[in-house]
Structure 1
Amino acid sequence: MYQRVRRRKVAEINVVPYIDVMLVLLIIFMVTAPLITQGVKVDLPQAEAEPLDEDSKPPLVASVDAQGRYYLTVGANDKEPMSATEVAVLVKAHLAVEPGTPVVVNGDGAVSYDAVIQLMVLLQTVAGVPSVGLMTDSVEN
Structure 2
Amino acid sequence: MAMSTGGSGGGPMAEINVTPLVDVMLVLLIIFMITAPLMSHKIQINLPQANPNTIDTNPPEPIDLAVKENGDLYMNDEPVTSAILEAQLRVAAQKNPQPELQIRAEKTTQYQKVAEVMAAAKRAGMVKIGFLTTGGDQ
Which of the two has greater strand per residue? 2
The alignment status of 1:66 with 2:69, answered yes or no, reads yes
- Distance in 2 separating the partners of 1:136 and 1:101: 19
Equivalent residue in structure 1 for 2:115, among 82, 103, 117: 117
Equivalent residue in structure 1 for 2:126, among 126, 129, 139: 129
The structure whose Rg is larger is 2
Equivalent residue in structure 2 for 1:91, among 83, 89, 95: 89
- Cα deviation per residue 1:24-48 (whole Å; 9 max; x = unaligned)? xxxxxxxxxxxxxxxxxxxxxxxxx
Structure 1 residue ranges without an equivalent (≥5): 1-53
Count how many residue pairs are aligned between Structure 1 and Structure 2.
81
Q: What is the RMSD computed on CA atoms of the aligned residues?
A: 2.4
TM-score, reference length from structure 2: 0.50
- Distance in 2 separating the partners of 1:67 and 1:88: 19
Deviation at 1:97, TM superposition (A): 4.0
Deviation at 1:108, TM superposition (A): 1.1
More relative contact order, 1 or 2 (CA 8 Å, 6+ apart): 1
**Deviation >4 Å, runs of 4+:** none
Structure 2 residue ranges without an equivalent (≥5): 1-56
TM-score, reference length from structure 1: 0.49
Q: Is the 8 A contact 2:59 2:97 kept in 1?
A: no
Percent identity between the two aligned chains: 17
